[in-house]
Structure 1
Amino acid sequence: MKFDFKKLVPHVIAVIIFLAAACLFSRPVLQGNVLSQHDVLGWKGMAQNAFEYKEKNGHFPLWNTALFSGMPNYQVAMDSKSVLPDINKLLTLGLPKPINFFFLACICFYVLCIVLRANPYVGIAGALAFAFSSYNPIIIGAGHETKMYAIAYMPALLAGILLIYYKNYLSGLCLAAWSAVMEVGVNHAQITYYLFIIVAAVSIVFAIDWVRKKEWKHLFIAFSLAAIAGGIGVAGSAVIMMPTYEYSKATMRGGKDVEIKDNKIINTKTSGLDADYAFSYSNGLAEPLTILMPNAFGGGSANPLPENSKVIEKLTDKGIPESQAAQVAAGLPAYWGGIQPSTSGPVYYGALIVLLALLSIVVVKNPLKWGLLAAAIFGIILSWGKYFEGVNLFLLNHLPLYNKFRAPSMAMVIAQFAVPVLAVIAMQSMLFGEDKVELVKKNFKKILFITGGTLAFCFIFYLLQSYTSDIDKQILAAYTDKSGSNELGKAIINGMIADRKAMFFSQLMRLTGFTALLVALLFIYSRKIISGTVVTIAIGLITLIDLFVVDGAYLTENSYKAADEIAAENFTANDADKQINNDKDVHFRVFNAGGDRFSEARTSYFHRSVGGYHPAKLRIYQDVIETYLSENPNQEVLNALDTKYILFTDQSGKQIVQPNPGAFGPCWLVKHISFADSPATELTAIGKTHLKDTAILNKNLEKTIQQPVYDSAASIKLMKYDNDAIEYSSSASSPQFAVMSEVYYPFGWNAYIDGKKTEYVKADYFMRGITVPAGNHKIEFKFEPDVYYNGRTISFAVSIILVLLLAATLFANWKKSKAKA
């Protein structure tokens, strides 16, 4: 049997083009620079403790002591037990960031195009459009790497599912299972959830077709294999998924027992995120138009008004000097969409790609289009969040697991995936299908109607839009003088409205140009003047240039720096750090009172921090932050957290160390226990109680926890402090109650007294407490999360299954090709 290597040539060309495009867009990397990403810097800060531990002990700890006074480390950095190599690195050829992200997205989408039997040129054009959609470089620049990986793997998983639905069962199962493991394994549940919506929509369309044709056996086999692939994906990532699911129960996404209203702590009971929090970062109703017109709403929140802003003219008309008016205009945002509090940039897919996707309605017979269109529309509805509250509030309360996620605008990822696929099947039908030229000729009036109708819709919106924004009220308030006059504020708003209208019109003209170009290409093609290949190459090249121009505003050369420069700027110990690190005490914490104390991880890089940076904090710790640490820190709470040092920033920006002699230390024996009726009462009480003497416990523990018997000679001290194991020594002539300056986490931490497992409780709302019997005792706390060890075993077993499945698939395909030969 001879293998026809000529068949590989188009695919090799595709890989070369993908690599070239990724390198071209990421040129600074080739000059030795690296991305300076906010979230990655944050991760390095919070992960440093884990890496130092690993260097010393040979493995990552399961508990991280460096942020938020302690949290599970498998939410930061972890080891996994697998027979598999680093698949991400293999698929991206070990390429540096961000080249690897764009390359991976291209490859996965191209695989989907192969499954769809698209012409290679069509696949290349679609893959480039998908990979370089503006949202991708925006999130890469911010450091949302797991999100980008999850987006990149979306097409590969759908490709596997479609292979199953096309009755290529074994290959489909293999591709779907491997892709599911990669998709789930990168641990961005929200993107995976959106992918499930796409798969569900597509599956419904196929199911309707199978039912109509009475293909019951195939329906059962296909859905069974798809479910098995999904199950393998979850099981293969059990070492990540199981601990994450368990942890989520104790975070904001698991609901809450208290809330703060009008500075009062009240009891509540929720099972997910509040609507107000979940609906932050919602798209305005018209904002999805950015998929066609990227800067119609001003781009990103950081984008300033144009230099020739009408605000300058309006202010000078009010007698304000031009230089001063220009200064005011320069400080105002161009963005006027609905995403609050801010957005990094628009979601843009490429005008030609969106127009082609719309054309799929009339030129594509493949039922797949209806599933993709339905998913895209549903994603847009989800993205509206609070601006389409009736529907989205219902979905938040009834759609399974949906109340675990926030930032509805992220749902535009659904359309970001669906639209290029629709464009691909439209191009394939028009340019390489059986009818091709005749199909375009026959439907040319419909093509004109859809493209012209899209333009007309945007033009009508341009005429009817008020061009006002939520930020206008803030500007009016800021420029209202003591007499109550807001003439200057009104002048500024009028100028901004004029700017917004001009921006929208400019984008409308831009769209008109792209529309005319597409119609012209299809018209010339219908006259057989140029081939489908030429049209496809033109569309792909124009789209790539278009996206590069838009993307370049958000992932710029300034996004890159030399690696040593980034390290020097962020992770070089200053005098304050050195002063604190001279203290060789094994247990104390540092509170950074300057800046955004609960959204920075630099402190965690050098010290055990009361603050930190992580998107999923423990709920009880978040309650304490909101109540006692966010504005004017409560000294009693800081003392209970063993905060030995507080960092302040002086006017020159230099950090100053203030020792806190009142820190309680790592553990203490209380004289009294006070029982609170409810979680709200517990949280309120810790701000009014001297916690060194009195422990606050929930009333449901009153029958099991006895009051301590005072003993002036009783003592407890820390003997050993390790991330996953803590040892104390106690001595008392009567029963005592000890409080440990460690965050209470109900899963995985076990307490032992003299080697015997013992119950411990939540004390002071967010810390650990334990009854200590009379006598001399060794008290140990060990972090032994069964969920992690069980998950690791399952992942290991599934990795073996994946290898066997791949081997079986390769053998079966080899045998089939040999039989054909």
Structure 2
Amino acid sequence: MSDRLHPAQLLRAVLPHVMAIVVLMVIAGTFYKKSFDGYRLRMPDIEHHIATTKEVNDHRDRTGEQALWTDSQFGGMPTFQLGMRTSDVNAGSWLGRILRMGFPRPADHLLVALLCAYLLAAVLGCGPWISALVAIGFGLSTINILYLGAGHAAKVMSIATLPGILAGVLVAYRRNLWLGAGLAAAFTAVNLSANHLQMTYYLAFLVGGIGIAETVRLVMSGAARRALVTGGVLLAAAGIALIPNGALIKPTLDYTPHTTRGEVLLTPAAGVEVADTGLDKDYILQYSMGRGEWWSIMVPDIKGGNNPLYWGEQLFSGGAFYFGAILMALFMASLVLRRDVLRWPMLVVALLAIVLSWRDTSGLTDFFLEHVPGFAKFRDTKMMLMLIQCMLPIGVGLLLKDVTAGKVEWNRKLFVAAGIPVALLLMFGAMPTVFFDFESHVRPDRAVEQLGAARALEQRLEVFSADVWRSFGLVLVAMAGLLAAVRLRASGARPMVINGLIGFMALVTMMEMHSVARRYQPADRGWVRTVEYKYPYTAAAADNAILADRVRRNPAVQQAIEAEVERVRAAYPGRIGKREQRVLDAAKFSGLQTVDHFRVLNLRGAFSDASVSYLHRSVGGYHGAKLRRYQDLIERVLQPEQQQFAALANSAGMDAALAAMPVHAMLNAQYIIYDPAQQPIPNGEALGNAWFANGWSMADGADAEMAAMESLTDSRRAVVPEVHSDALAGVLPGAANGGRAELVSFTPDAQEYRVSTPAKGLLVFSEVHYPEGWQLTIDGVPADLLRVNYALRGVVVPAGEHSVEMAFVLPSVQSARTMASLGSGLLLLFVFGSLAMAFLGRGTVEEIN
């Protein structure tokens, strides 16, 4: 007799899930309703990303070519994490588009979070009401809302897909190997395509814990073979999911050793602790939480959230990580009531996430930073709390499933489980100062400074108490609902009654999660029209003055501007009216950059603001993975020069101030903006795109090089590493002083110079050095590209007139793209093949046993 369902039975089984998914779609659509009305959420980090990738995107639009290097910020850097597109060869990106169902951003990311959490609960056997309840809690958790509002879309997309990976892992161990492997491979590929490896890395702790627990369970039940096969197939699925993402991951892995996440080059000052590799401990923990702040997952204003009174230990807080009082109470109860082996990895990982989220380091944090591979590569350890968010659908879903199945008994243990969260919040509300500190010890406590300690404490207690008692009431509802459901099930109540009670809890959960989410994302605040989202910046007076000056200097600039404006006008989908004028303004500066190459320094947030890169090539910028050498230059030379400039401009005059910035002159910073609304300061000291050094000093090692750079007063004098001493053999200091170098053509990743020199000389470029990929030729003959001035490029040029060309060529990138294309085919074959095997009844528990 066939086990397959009759069509009518299948419809009855599937229809409730379809209806639940429609409800989730409505929730995502209504929460971000304005995204369907021609608006986009203003996201600061997305604006920065648009600015820093504009040069690369404009180049792609003009030529169809993908540049691997950009001069948009920090004097130049690879585009591996800055606009390099790989979605055309990545099946993970294709599957991600299917998951987003055509929803506009950011509603699409919220929808993916809701669907993946629903899937996780559903594959565990939870009904539609239970699955919807946990999905709503997961999706509307403020960690998603906060980071979408800030523009961390990749982070949220990565978090959103984590339940899908967990669903695959659990299905493989508990239901069907091939179905689970297919799901795990598909969602891992989508997760990796989001390109936020920190979240994927943290998930590995939870997946590893579940894998160990499931393996122990299977071995103890005599199914060791099944444990071995399942683990092996899941590892293979992860490997297959990795290949399509290789076009991005491989270049990123090659790039990482040269960034601030790689080896430290300079000896730290006395008394300063710096990791040999990876990020500094203080930098990693800068945005981590104080010990009591993690309770915000249950009480959002436990430390003030985004209130001006905020008294936590984070350097800055946009709001609390809130996972819901109801869901957290049910999760705590599940850890007490359920005997499933999963409670042990969930308990251990939850405790681990809590401790590692703390700012003040414990022995455990130090151990992880020093000994756990990869942990020190990521900052902001409070993000580990999202593992608790990911466990909620499992713990809460399985608990409520057991309740509906009558597996939870009416006994003392039930009352203990229900009483724990109630008692905790009761104690917090009754004795707040016993359990929590109400002063900030990391950053200046503005509330105490302005209000006085007593008044600040009074107001903070009001904020604290209001939210504690709010959560207390919600927990009472949740625990009363749990007790009622168990009692009704024990008394033989109809399933419809139990489901109705769970549906009521889902409704209350939606209301409570929605209300807190709206604290951080009001329905009508922060939205801009689509054209303002895509073109986020407008030219200020300083920008327009720079443009006018370049047009005056070079007639070819005006021609390039007109050509680019015409190209953009022809490609723009729709009429360009007054509101769309920003589109043409951006095109003007894009046209300028095709024929003119110089850099701009904005003294306001030079190294924390990327807006300058939208219209100019910038000395500064904003990025989480800067080149290590450039970061060293920023900290040891560029920032001190800017401080010296500000001091001298007020005391000794502008000429003296500009002369005190020799390294900025090397970077060809031809304009300095001190106020965007005012005229910029022309920098007559800027050396141009390339120049011949009038002398040099040899330095042995990074410390000696940096010391020489710090003491440098003559911008035309070079600092050369000792390893390049042979290359300078026969080069006489000052012999090439009459030499000239002119940049005659360029793209983001290629330059051509016309060089003339009376003698053999050291030519220095105002371009940042990168040890891989850059190839240099003199009259078509390969020549050695040197690293000079700690972070710039140089070359020895023989006497005479020459053509010097540089190109950024990385065959490994194309190889990775080819491998990704093949891997995408393999992934789709594996996913659909696995689903077919499961449909045919293969991979069942019985078969593997």
Q: Distance in 1 between matches of 2:274 and 2:36?
A: 54
Q: Distance in 2 between matches of 1:260 and 1:447?
A: 51
Among residues 95, 120, 132, which one is paired with 1:124 in the alignment? 132
Is 1:718 paired with 2:743? yes
Q: Deviations over 1:353-406 (max 9, x none)?
A: 00110111232222122212221211111101x324322112100111101111
Residue matched to 1:750:
775
Give unpaired runs (5+ residues) of structure 1.
304-332, 480-488
- The Cα of 1:581 is off from its aligned counterpart by 2.7
Is 1:547 paired with 2:547? no
Which is further off, 590-599 or 523-532? Answer: 523-532
Residue matched to 2:230:
222
SS in structure 1 of the partner of residue 720 of structure 2: strand
Which is further off, 620-629 or 25-34? Answer: 25-34
Q: Deviations over 1:563-587 (max 9, x none)?
A: 2673699422233323323423844
Residue matched to 1:324:
none
Q: How does 1:579-658 map to 2 (within 5 A)?
A: 579-582=545-548, 583=550, 584=557, 586-630=595-639, 631-632=642-643, 635-649=661-675, 654-658=677-681
Q: How does 1:783-794 map to 2 (within 5 A)?
A: 783-794=808-819
Residue matched to 1:708:
731
Q: How does 1:455-494 map to 2 (within 5 A)?
A: 455-456=425-426, 458-459=428-429, 462-465=432-435, 467-470=437-440, 474-475=444-445, 492-494=452-454
Q: How does 1:186-265 map to 2 (within 5 A)?
A: 186-258=194-266, 261=269
Q: Distance in 2 between matches of 1:91 and 1:114?
A: 17
Q: How does 1:141-156 map to 2 (within 5 A)?
A: 141-156=149-164
SS in structure 2 of the partner of residue 597 of structure 1: coil
Q: Distance in 1 between matches of 2:174 and 2:374?
A: 30
CA contact (8 A) 1:39 1:144 kept: yes
**AA of the residue aligned to 1:675:** M
Q: Distance in 2 between matches of 1:100 and 1:274?
A: 35
- The Cα of 1:219 is off from its aligned counterpart by 2.2
Q: Distance in 2 between matches of 1:7 and 1:474?
A: 58
Q: Distance in 2 between matches of 1:151 and 1:83?
A: 19
Distance 1:440 1:559, change over 3 A: farther
CA contact (8 A) 2:331 2:392 kept: yes
Which is further off, 785-794 or 455-464? Answer: 455-464
SS in structure 1 of the partner of residue 261 of structure 2: helix
Residue matched to 2:369:
396
Residue matched to 2:63:
57
Is 1:447 paired with 2:417? yes
What is the CA RMSD across the aligned residues, in angstroms? 2.7
Q: How does 1:680-691 map to 2 (within 5 A)?
A: 680-690=703-713
Q: Distance in 1 between matches of 2:822 and 2:665?
A: 47
Which is further off, 766-775 or 281-290? Answer: 766-775
**AA of the residue aligned to 2:29:** C
Q: Distance in 2 between matches of 1:447 and 1:794?
A: 52
Residue matched to 1:294:
300
Which is further off, 756-765 or 120-129? Answer: 756-765
Percent identity reads: 27
Which is further off, 1-10 or 70-79? Answer: 1-10
Residue matched to 1:496:
456
Residue matched to 2:720:
697
Q: Distance in 2 between matches of 1:193 and 1:750?
A: 35
Q: Distance in 2 between matches of 1:252 and 1:473?
A: 25
CA contact (8 A) 1:376 1:419 kept: no
Is 1:771 paired with 2:796? yes
Q: How does 1:406-421 map to 2 (within 5 A)?
A: 406-421=379-394
- The Cα of 1:163 is off from its aligned counterpart by 2.1
Among residues 62, 74, 77, which one is paired with 2:80 in the alignment? 74
Q: Deviations over 1:418-472 (max 9, x none)?
A: 1332111111111x22x24x62457433334434443355357625146332359
Among residues 346, 349, 360, which one is paired with 1:387 in the alignment? 360
Q: Deviations over 1:525-564 (max 9, x none)?
A: 3442682202211111111100111010101135433326
Which is further off, 745-754 or 286-295? Answer: 745-754
Q: Deviations over 1:757-816 (max 9, x none)?
A: 332121101100112234443322111123322221111111010121233234334444
CA contact (8 A) 2:332 2:417 kept: no
Residue matched to 2:109:
101
- The Cα of 1:347 is off from its aligned counterpart by 0.9
Q: Deviations over 1:192-229 (max 9, x none)?
A: 11111110111111122123234332222112112112
Q: Distance in 2 between matches of 1:478 and 1:519?
A: 38
CA contact (8 A) 1:258 1:269 kept: no
Distance 1:478 1:593, change over 3 A: farther
Q: Distance in 1 between matches of 2:239 and 2:442?
A: 49
Is 1:566 paired with 2:538? no
SS in structure 2 of the partner of residue 595 of structure 1: coil
Which is further off, 789-798 or 207-216? Answer: 207-216
Distance 1:691 1:114, change over 3 A: farther
- The Cα of 1:690 is off from its aligned counterpart by 4.8
**AA of the residue aligned to 1:426:** L
Q: How does 1:6-21 map to 2 (within 5 A)?
A: 6-21=12-27
CA contact (8 A) 2:133 2:506 kept: yes
Q: Distance in 1 between matches of 2:225 and 2:633?
A: 56
**AA of the residue aligned to 1:770:** V
Distance 1:161 1:707, change over 3 A: farther
SS in structure 1 of the partner of residue 178 of structure 2: helix
Is 1:350 paired with 2:324? yes
SS in structure 2 of the partner of residue 656 of structure 1: coil
Is 1:373 paired with 2:347? yes
**AA of the residue aligned to 2:148:** I
Is 1:675 paired with 2:649? no
Give unpaired runs (5+ residues) of structure 2.
551-556, 558-591, 646-659, 845-849
Aligned length: 767
Is 1:171 paired with 2:171? no
Distance 1:654 1:568, change over 3 A: farther
Q: Distance in 1 between matches of 2:231 and 2:16?
A: 33
Distance 1:474 1:128, change over 3 A: closer
- The Cα of 1:608 is off from its aligned counterpart by 1.0
- The Cα of 1:98 is off from its aligned counterpart by 1.8
Among residues 184, 188, 191, which one is paired with 1:180 in the alignment? 188
What TM-score, normalized to structure 1?
0.88
Distance 1:76 1:618, change over 3 A: same
CA contact (8 A) 2:192 2:242 kept: yes
Residue matched to 2:41:
35
Residue matched to 2:335:
361
CA contact (8 A) 1:587 1:665 kept: no
Q: Distance in 2 between matches of 1:357 and 1:613?
A: 39
- The Cα of 1:473 is off from its aligned counterpart by 8.4
Q: Deviations over 1:149-174 (max 9, x none)?
A: 00011011111122222262222222
Is 1:270 paired with 2:276? yes
CA contact (8 A) 2:100 2:108 kept: yes
